[in-house]
Chains A and B, each alone.
Chain A
Amino acid sequence: MHIPDGYISPATALAFYGAVLPFWWAAGQRLKRVLTGQLVPALALFSAFTFAIMMFNIPVPGGTTAHAVGGTLAAVVLGPWAAIISVSVALIIQALFFGDGGITAIGANCFILGVALPLTGYGVYRLVSGRSDPLSRRRLLAAAIGAYVGINVAGLLVGLALGIQPIFWSENGRALYSPYGLREAVPAMLIPHLTIAGAAEVIATVFGLAYVQRAHPELLERRAATARVAPSARRLTLAIFVLLALFSPLGLLATGSAWGEWGSDELAQRVGYVPRGLEELESLWSAPLPDYTLPWMTETASFAEQALAYILSAIVGIALIFATTFALRILLRPRQGQQATAGG
């Protein structure tokens, strides 16, 4: 799940660093206001906690065990901003000292597991839980759905990040980084996340939250109370970052398309292998590749199949992103007592 060093190109790694920095900054600013002097010890302990729960083996139905990230659980109990920082710090410590996940890939891992996962998970959680009692069963259901969607968005993003590697970074048909195209990387990441890893995340989140509801209800009630205050300035900042979040995967593709265009010209002149991903790409990005006419591209029998696989994964991705946006929109809405229920 953590991307190691050497799996993604330095350009991809840099793009992810760029994507994650604004979130760290925003989270830092927000937490500085909320925690004031307590910032340092609170974040350190939250991060250490997140690190520790990543070590838990969760018994998953079917007799196997898996690790959970706990990003949604952290976001629900500690708040989304604290979750961003604590998951990120835990991931950085893992990369620096435990060799878990690459050092160049810290930006990618932190963006995917530390930002996309908790924000999506939390957004869906807020959407489903609406204005229900923080100690109700509906909150557990909301956390379960949030955790499941969150971990799968993360899985999809890892699949996309790995899958674009051979499309943009190949030389004479030799893949320079992770060799699998979107057709292999996306299902390879999504299938375990839809099943085992998804189950582990749901179990950790639901049973963890159920325990907090039982044993420390004051934590959840306090959060529900503070969540109601939403100054309008924060909404604007948040909206900007939501936009950034939405465009960052697009930005990855867009900067890459320049590379892809250049790569296609290069490849067109040479004999031999053309990355399979390039064919998938053509179905989506016809504009950057207008007169790209390769004989073997049209005669591939499985072209429709590939296109379908790609479009399907794109639809899943877009639907999930829409769910996130919608959830975040509700999250950003000022909380007044009389307002209608958010989630129906």
Chain B
Amino acid sequence: MTASPTSRRRRARKSFVERTITGVGAAIEQTVYAETYARQDGFLQRVDPRAKVGLFALALLVTGLVHDLPLLAGLWLGLLGLGIATRLPFRVIAVRTMLGVPLFTGLVALPALFLVDGRSLFTIGPVGSITLTVSDQAVLSVATFLLRVSASVTLAALLVLTTRWADLLKALRIFRVPDVFVIVLGMTYRYVFLLLRLTENLFLGRASRTVGRTSSGEQRRWVGASMGTLMSRSLKMSNDVYAAMVARGFSGDVRTLATFRMRDEDWLFVSLGVALLGLAWLVDLSR
């Protein structure tokens, strides 16, 4: 938003104010786009949310259990293909499934190349007194880890990018999540954006009022006070929201409209998906 020219100029030393504004902006932007893709027409977007949530949960479990490295790679590539088949822009899939968590994981896993013992493949050094040895098991471990994380992240991203959040929450009921909890999740999601906007305004306000540097003590007091402000506002808001709900006839009981209907295509999707996942599992067991 408004902070971007400044942040571009001084990327090296962003202040906590700029970082927060950028972070909040990115979070809001990300969900807005996710909702846009979920509203587009596509193969996965059309599937009944319950069928999708159930099958994706199973897929996450299978991805977690698979041992075989080529199978994991196959799963990941298959999911990328599914993403393209359901008409998500490739750029979005790439950003979601290769940058972010997988990139972070790659950095995290890098030292493991030298730390996991096994048959030595090659050595680097000696540089000074340090010799780094890369073993076959280390390479396999890191590859397994990266592929598993990438496949899981792709699954989660596909689910979020092709399901509207209200549907996703409603679909949680198939896991016997209590209604009250689903409603709390839904309302939280709504108010997260309100409070994120408030946060953004607090920080933007500070950014536009501040000239030069302030002491670190003042910065900390201000951050603390902003948190306190946010807390008291949300407490007050919760009273107001409750009053508004009561005024509209809320009695404490939660009732919802269940409008989902499984079509033949959905059953086909579920049975095909379960069969494929079961096959993957069997192949993995036989290896």
A binds B: yes
A→B interface (CB under 8 Å): 4-7, 9-10, 13, 28, 36-49, 51-53, 55-59, 61, 63, 65, 70, 73, 77, 85, 89-90, 92-93, 95-99, 102-104, 166, 171-180, 184, 203-204, 206-212, 215-216, 219, 272-274, 276
Q: A4-B105, A203-B220 are in contact. Are A38 and B242 (CB under 8 A)?
A: yes
A179 adjacent to B230 (CB under 8 Å):
no
**Residue contacts A-B, CB under 8 angstroms, 25 given:** A5-B60, A6-B152, A10-B65, A28-B181, A40-B184, A41-B245, A44-B187, A45-B235, A45-B238, A49-B231, A53-B227, A59-B219, A70-B227, A93-B192, A97-B189, A99-B100, A103-B152, A179-B115, A180-B115, A210-B221, A215-B225, A215-B229, A219-B235, A272-B119, A273-B137
Asked whether B141 lies within 8 Å of A212 as measured between CB atoms, the reply is: no
Known: A58-B223, A99-B100, A273-B116. A37 touches B191 (CB 8 A): no
Chain A facing B: main interface SS:
helix
B183 is an interface residue with CB less than 8 A from chain A: yes
Residues of chain A lying within 8 A (CB to CB) of residue B149:
4-7
Interface residues of B (CB under 8 A from A): 13, 15-17, 19-20, 23-24, 27, 30-31, 34, 57, 60-61, 63-65, 67, 96, 100-101, 104-105, 109, 111-112, 115-119, 135, 137-138, 140-142, 144-145, 148-153, 155-157, 160, 165, 168, 180-181, 183-185, 187-192, 194-196, 198-199, 216, 219-221, 223-232, 234-235, 237-239, 241-242, 245-246, 250-252, 254
Nearest residue in B to A202 (C-beta to C-beta)?
B220
Cα distance, A56 to B225, chains bound together (Å): 12
Measured between alpha carbons, how far is A176 from B68 in the docked complex, in Å?
A: 10
Chain B residues within an 8 Å CB radius of A55: 20, 23-24, 27, 196, 199
In the docked arrangement, what's the CA distance between A1 and B221, Å?
A: 25
Q: For residue B152, which residues in chain A have a CB less than 8 angstroms away from its CB?
A: 4-6, 102-104
CB distance from B103 to the nearest CB of A (A): 12
Q: How far is the CA of A57 from the CA of B216 in the complex (A)?
A: 13
User: CB within 8 A of B135: which of A6, A203, A273?
Assistant: A273
Closest partner residue, chain A, to B152 (CB atom): A5
Please name all residues of chain B whose beta carbon is closer than 8 Å to the beta carbon of A13 when the two chains form the complex.
64
Q: How far is the CB of B201 from chain A (nearest CB, A)?
A: 12
Report the Cα distance A210→B229, complex, angstroms.
12
Residue of A5, A173, A177 near B156 (CB, 8 A) is A5
Chain B residues in 8 Å Cβ range of A42: 238, 242
| 14 additional contacts (CB under 8 A) given A5-B156, A6-B152, A48-B190 | A5-B101, A5-B153, A5-B155, A10-B64, A41-B245, A44-B190, A44-B241, A45-B234, A104-B152, A166-B141, A173-B137, A174-B137, A178-B145, A180-B115
Among B23, B144, B156, B228, contact of A99 (Cβ-Cβ < 8 Å): B156
Say yes or no: B223 contacts A212, CB within 8 Å.
no
Find chain B residues with CB under 8 A from A276 CB: 115, 117
- Is B60 a contact partner of A207 (Cβ separation < 8 A)? no
B156 touching A103, Cβ below 8 Å: yes
Q: A28 to B180, alpha carbons, bound, how many Å?
A: 10
In the assembled complex, the CB of B274 is this many whole angstroms from the nearest CB of chain A, namely 17
Name the B residues within 8 Å of A175 (CB-CB): 112, 116, 141, 144-145
